[in-house]
């Protein structure tokens, strides 16, 4: 059984468009250091821990900030769209018999609201509210449902790569999300995809 596990934000949903609004509200609410758009772009080259340091964010505030982020996103999630071609790819994978799931730090409610609004096919599993530091625990939880399954994770961030490497799960790092290609390459993902066609080819080739 072949199991393709997708990240949500920055991989399926183009929530990069919402980042400015979320960032502004969090900055005001938690009195965070403010950056210009150019400076924010430069932060894409840093690791997650380095970004926290640059923002002067206390690690103990992170759970509260993540809850707040999900609340903000719940109000505006329908103002954004899927990345072009991702819905068709998932439909194709389902038709070909793949198990298709989502593991994300976003909430299951936000994810389902978005998927239903845009008419996505039914996913075989959606696990939300993953730790800000990694998704390894939820990936393992999902795979316990498929003890004989072979997993492949699709994500857009450096921390996705680290999480999957910790548990020996292969990963395709996509370059259209939150972390740029140069940052993703640093930790040697199994595959890199710059577009949907490449991603589809990688998935099919990986499981052959």
**How does pLDDT run across 73-95, given as a tens digit for each residue?**
888 899 999 999 999 999 999 99
User: pLDDT per residue over 139-192, tens digit each?
Assistant: 999 999 999 999 999 999 999 999 999 999 999 999 999 888 998 998 999 999
pLDDT surpasses 90 at 59:
no
User: What is the token pair recorded at 192?
Assistant: 């890199």
Q: Report, at the CATH architecture level, how domain 2-14+83-206 is classified.
A: 3-Layer(aba) Sandwich (3.40)
The whole-number pLDDT of residue 142 equals 97
Kind and range of the H or E run holding 18: none
Q: Which residue has the higher pLDDT, 22 or 162?
A: 162
Which residue would you say has higher pLDDT here, 45 or 128?
128
Domain boundaries, the chain: 2-14+83-206, 16-79
Confirm if 3 and 99 have CB atoms less than 8 A apart.
Answer: yes
């Amino acid at each position: 059984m072949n199991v393709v596990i997708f990240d949500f934000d920055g991989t399926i949903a183009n929530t990069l468009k919402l980042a400015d609004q979320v960032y502004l509200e969090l900055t005001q609410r938690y009195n965070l250091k403010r950056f210009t758009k150019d400076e924010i772009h430069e932060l894409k080259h840093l690791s997650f821990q380095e970004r926290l340091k640059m923002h002067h964010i206390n690690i103990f505030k992170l759970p509260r900030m993540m809850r707040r982020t999900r609340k903000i996103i719940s109000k505006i999630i329908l103002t954004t769209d899927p990345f072009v071609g991702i819905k068709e790819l998932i439909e194709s994978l389902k038709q070909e018999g793949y198990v298709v799931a989502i593991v994300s730090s976003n909430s299951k409610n936000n994810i389902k609201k978005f998927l239903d609004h845009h008419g996505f096919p039914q996913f075989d599993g959606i696990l939300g509210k993953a730790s800000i530091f990694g998704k390894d625990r939820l990936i393992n939880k999902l795979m316990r449902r498929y003890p004989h399954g072979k997993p492949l994770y699709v994500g857009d961030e450096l921390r996705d790569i680290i999480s999957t490497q910790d548990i020996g799960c292969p990963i395709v790092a996509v370059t259209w999300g939150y972390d740029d290609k140069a940052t993703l390459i640093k930790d040697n993902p199994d595959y890199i995809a710059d577009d949907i066609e490449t991603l589809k080819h990688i998935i099919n080739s990986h499981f052959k």
